[in-house]
């Protein structure tokens, strides 16, 4: 029942009833740029984030395609506010570390924790063998923890954050 509760309507038709439906579109179909019928919208107008909200950086590094990076503020109710991002290609790890620090200086605050895809810990993921993105970032003052290696856990957490909270009447995940 727990698994079924977390399936979209389309996934339920396929998995429970054997319906032949081509699952297409966004990975997270619940993400809304404009309000849906329930008024749920994940894109919000930017505002001045209180300095006491902890900041988190999430890094999805790749050697051959763009790095996806977001900065998130977490409010007192554990809602997430994505206030900045980078989509960078063709830069070295050293250049990206410099960009991270510059961006954080612009915002006047550094993350309390940084998470990277577990791939960043592999010692053969760069042109230089026996080194890792995580180790190189660490030597440059960018300390990262590796996120969960279980994609289902990560996807479940994000899907939960996209749902409307009965307490706040808005989703936990909000994007400037």
Q: Which of 65-69, 115-119, 139-143, 155-159 has the highest mean pLDDT?
A: 139-143
Q: How many angstroms separate the Cα of 129 from the Cα of each of 36, 83, 123, 138, 141?
A: 48, 35, 7, 17, 21
Segment 71-92 mean pLDDT: 94
Instruction: Give dist(CA 133, CA 139) in Å, integer.
Output: 10
**CA–CA dist 132, 141 (Å, integer):** 14
pLDDT at site 24: 47
Task: Provide mean pLDDT across the span 84-97.
Answer: 92
Q: Average of pLDDT values for 135-153?
A: 91
**How large is the average pLDDT for residues 77-94?**
92
Structure tokens at 1: 């029942």
Q: What is the pTM of this model?
A: 0.79
Spatial contact of 135 and 124, defined as CB atoms under 8 Å apart:
no
Contact 173, 82 (CB under 8 A): yes
């Amino acid at each position: 029942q727990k698994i079924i509760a977390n399936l979209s309507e389309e996934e339920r038709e396929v998995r429970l009833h054997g319906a032949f439906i081509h699952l297409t579109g966004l990975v997270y179909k619940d993400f809304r740029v404009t309000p849906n019928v329930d008024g749920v919208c994940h894109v919000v107008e930017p505002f001045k984030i209180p300095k006491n909200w902890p900041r988190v950086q999430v890094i999805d590094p790749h050697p051959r395609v763009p790095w996806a990076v977001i900065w998130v503020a977490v409010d007192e109710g554990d809602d997430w506010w994505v206030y900045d991002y980078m989509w960078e290609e063709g830069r070295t790890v050293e250049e990206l570390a410099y960009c991270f620090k510059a961006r954080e200086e612009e915002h006047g605050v550094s993350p309390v924790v940084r998470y990277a895809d577990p791939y960043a810990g592999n010692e053969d993921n760069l042109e230089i063998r026996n080194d890792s993105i995580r180790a190189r970032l660490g030597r440059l003052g960018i300390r990262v923890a590796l996120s969960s290696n279980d994609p289902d856990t990560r996807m479940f957490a994000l899907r939960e954050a996209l749902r409307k909270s009965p307490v706040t009447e808005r989703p936990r995940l909000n994007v400037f």
